[in-house]
């Protein structure tokens, strides 16, 4: 009877233990049950030890209940086996729960560190964008709705972009819209170039001028697209263009009189000769000026007086064109200082002899008037030579040489007069 009772208790405990083990491995709430199972397993082991001590010290007590020899050993082995079967899996379940708890604890403790790193990365990224030259941004493409084309949203942009577009970050975050979508506005231009960058999957550059606060400003946009994102930088090139223009003007301008210099004059004459030779232009006229007595004025009154005289001569040449009516076929003239006291005027489209002589007479009248320079009354008339290139093959240097030769004939004929080159130009036309 005692044997079957022990077996029944053993089987019941095993069933309860198996159910507890199954639940404990799947439900966190069963972990306390496993703790109780481990506790009772330890109690059973202690009971076995107590039973063994009692059986050795007082065997009469056990014999009184019919527990002798083999029965005693069976009970000890069964209880010990049962306690071990309960203890080992119970400890395994508790250790697994402890590991999971430690893992969650580590994860929860790592979240602040990860968030701190993410925050630092965002801050570093924003600092890099804010410190970069120009307006830096990243856009993401939004799907197009029916009847509209795809647009872009601002993912991140630095302070330069916000100042340029006059937009503010929403809720403290730089993301949002690019602002008003005006076809003549900067935001529309950015979206247009960004679309090209996504389509071509290659860097796209564009330079345009916009009126900002009443002033014309030039901007250069460089973009690169990948997937649905476009990164770009906008640099203002107004100053660079202004400096480039100033360098170009300086390279083609005489520093004293602010007229065209010899290099620019040569380019103009060669261009007009080429156009005339190929029938694109009807022709042009070249006037060559040399001023009488300039060397004597320079030597007696000083170079500062001579320089001022050269400036006033340039001003009078300009004034001549304001006082005469050029033919409708004539284009904008080029007035240049050829060197020293020599000046050259090129008038495209002026080819009729009477019109050329009328303009030359206007020059002579304007240049005969005395000059008032630093308290000195200075008179310096001009000897003028002219050469007309019309409907014939000629090189620019030959036309200029002919005008120079005509000027020397005017000087030899008595000065203060105009001589026109007679004859053609027997030269080969310039190569196209």
Show Cβ contacts of residue 429 under 8 Å, excluding neighbours closer than 6 positions.
274, 277, 278, 393, 394, 395
Run of H or E including 377: strand 376-378
The residues that bridge with 95 in the sheet, in sequence order, are none
Q: How far apart are CA 153 and CA 253, in angstroms?
A: 49
For residue 170, what are the CA distances in angstroms to 120, 124, 125, 143?
A: 21, 20, 18, 21
- Encode the chain (432 residues) as per-residue pLDDT tens digits: 444 555 565 566 665 555 555 555 455 555 666 666 666 667 766 676 666 666 666 665 555 555 555 666 666 667 676 666 666 666 666 666 666 666 666 665 656 665 556 556 556 666 666 666 778 888 888 765 444 455 788 887 887 887 888 765 444 444 556 766 666 788 888 888 988 888 888 889 999 988 877 888 899 999 988 888 888 888 888 888 888 878 888 888 898 999 999 999 999 999 999 998 888 888 999 999 999 888 888 888 888 888 999 999 999 999 999 888 888 888 889 999 998 899 999 999 999 999 999 999 999 999 999 998 888 888 888 999 999 998 777 788 999 999 999 999 999 988 899 999 987 664 433 333
Task: Round to whole Å and give the CA distance between 166 and 157.
Answer: 12
pLDDT, residue 343, reads 95
Which tokens hold the place of 358? 């009328």
The dihedrals phi and psi of 143, each to the nearest 5 degrees, come to -65, 145
pLDDT of residue 260: 92
| Cα pseudo-dihedral 104, 107, 109, 115, rounded to 10 | -150
The predicted pLDDT at position 68 comes to 58
Q: Please, are residues 20 and 91 in contact by the beta-carbon 8 Å criterion?
A: no
Q: Which of 316, 315, 309 is nearest to 376 (CA)?
A: 309
Q: Annotate 270-311 with DSSP letters as a single string.
A: HHHHHHHHTTSS--EEEEEEEETTHHHHHHHH-HHHHHHHHH
pLDDT at 289: 95
Q: Does residue 110 sit in helix, strand or coil?
A: helix
Check residue 146 and give its pLDDT: 44
The full DSSP string for 383-426 is: EEEEEEE-SS---HHHHHHHHHHHHHHHHHTTSS-EEE--S---
In this structure, the number of other CB atoms found within 10 A of the CB of residue 160 comes to 20
How buried is residue 254: exposed, middle or buried, by Cβ count under 10 Å (0-12/13-18/19+)?
buried
For residues 368 and 345, what is the distance between their CA atoms, to the nearest angstrom? 18
CB neighbour list of residue 212: distance below 8 Å, 6 or more residues apart = none
Q: Are 190 and 161 in contact (CB under 8 A)?
A: no
User: Tokens 């069976």 sit at which residue?
Assistant: 74
- Whose tokens are 């007309």? That residue is 388
Report the C-alpha gap between 310 and 290 in whole angstroms. Answer: 11
CA-based diameter of the chain, in Å? 167
The Cα–Cα gap between 403 and 342 comes to 12
pLDDT number for residue 215: 84
Question: Given the DSSP bridges, would you call strands 135-142 and 151-157 parallel, antiparallel or unpaired?
Answer: antiparallel
Q: How many Å apart are CA 168 and CA 170, to the nearest integer?
A: 6
Number of helices and strands (H, E) in the chain? Answer: 12, 12
């Amino acid at each position: 009877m005692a044997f079957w009772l022990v077996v029944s208790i053993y089987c019941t405990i095993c069933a309860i233990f198996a159910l507890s083990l199954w639940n404990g491995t799947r439900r966190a709430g069963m972990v306390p049950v496993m703790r109780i199972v481990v506790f009772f397993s330890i109690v059973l082991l202690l009971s076995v030890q107590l039973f063994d001590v009692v059986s050795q010290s007082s065997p009469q007590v056990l014999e009184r209940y019919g527990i002798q020899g083999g029965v005693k050993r069976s009970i000890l082995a069964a209880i010990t086996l049962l306690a071990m079967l309960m203890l080992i899996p119970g400890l395994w379940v508790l250790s697994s729960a402890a590991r999971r708890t430690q893992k969650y604890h580590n994860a929860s403790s790592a979240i602040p560190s990860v968030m701190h790193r993410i925050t630092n990365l965002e801050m570093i990224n924003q600092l890099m964008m804010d410190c970069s030259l120009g307006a830096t941004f990243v856009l993401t493409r939004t799907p197009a709705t029916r009847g509209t084309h795809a647009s872009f949203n601002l993912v991140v942009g630095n302070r330069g972009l916000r100042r340029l577009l006059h937009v503010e970050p929403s809720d403290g975050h730089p993301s949002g819209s690019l602002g008003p979508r005006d076809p003549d506005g900067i935001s529309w231009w950015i979206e247009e170039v960004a679309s090209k960058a996504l389509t071509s999957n290659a860097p796209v550059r564009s330079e345009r001028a916009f009126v900002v606060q009443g002033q014309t400003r030039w901007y250069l946009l460089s973009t690169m697209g990948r997937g649905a994102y476009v990164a770009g930088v906008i640099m203002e090139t107004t100053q660079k263009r202004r400096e480039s223009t100033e360098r170009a003007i300086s390279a083609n301008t005489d520093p004293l009189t602010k007229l065209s210099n010899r290099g620019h004059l040569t380019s103009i004459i060669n261009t007009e000769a080429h156009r005339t030779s190929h029938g694109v232009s009807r022709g042009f006229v070249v006037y060559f000026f040399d001023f009488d007595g300039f060397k004597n004025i320079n030597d007696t009154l000083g170079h500062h007086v001579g320089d001022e005289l050269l400036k006033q001569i340039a001003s009078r040449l300009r004034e001549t064109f304001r006082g005469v009516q050029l033919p409708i076929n004539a284009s904008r003239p080029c007035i240049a200082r050829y060197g020293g006291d020599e000046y050259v005027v090129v008038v495209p489209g002026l080819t009729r002899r009477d019109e050329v002589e009328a303009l030359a007479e206007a020059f002579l009248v304007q240049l005969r008037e005395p000059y008032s320079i630093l308290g000195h009354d200075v008179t310096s008339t001009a000897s003028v030579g002219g050469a007309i290139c019309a409907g014939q093959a000629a090189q620019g240097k030959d036309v200029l040489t002919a005008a120079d030769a005509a000027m020397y004939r005017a000087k030899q004929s008595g000065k203060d007069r105009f001589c026109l080159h007679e004859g053609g130009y027997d030269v080969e036309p310039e190569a196209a």
